[in-house]
Amino acid sequence: MICYSIVILAKPFRRVSMQSSSSIENGMAVNLSKTKIMKFRRGGRLARADCFTYNGEEVEIVNAYKYLGITIQTSLSFSKHITSVLCKANPAVNSIEKPYLLSIQTSINFFKIKISPIATYNISVIWPFLTAANMCSLDLIKSTYLKKVLSLHKSSRNRLVLALCGE
């Protein structure tokens, strides 16, 4: 049986130890290689005393964790998530061969079908927490694609590109 869950622990977070009696009773086992711990903080290093064990084995404490497609960071910023979205969207932009041969409307439809879902996956969940810099990074995906469609140089103004495409 597979069970996914998130456990939130409040202060104080120093040494926490858990036993597996309830999971054994229910026929479930904990996979410690996939189990990670995150301590949410405003920055800085973990205290030396921060330790989490399960049945005597130490569980790894991580600074970022991908859960349901969203990269969560200890500082509750989503800069790593935005970076991963950009890394996925750029190959999708480059996969459309000779976009300059297509009409602008067809190119925009390709963007909406192929690239936009990658860039906006689960965006409604993290939208309230995005910074202006995060939104500008996401906006670069569309302007980069449209520059390829219009055969413009990479340093062309984004406003000009969007105006030319009627966006």
Q: What is the maximum span of the chain, computed from C-alpha positions, in angstroms?
A: 64
Tens-place pLDDT, residues 11-53: 555 555 555 555 556 666 777 777 888 877 777 777 777 777 7
Nearest 5°: the CA angle 81, 131, 153 is: 80
Whether the full predicted model's pTM is greater than 0.85, yes or no, is no
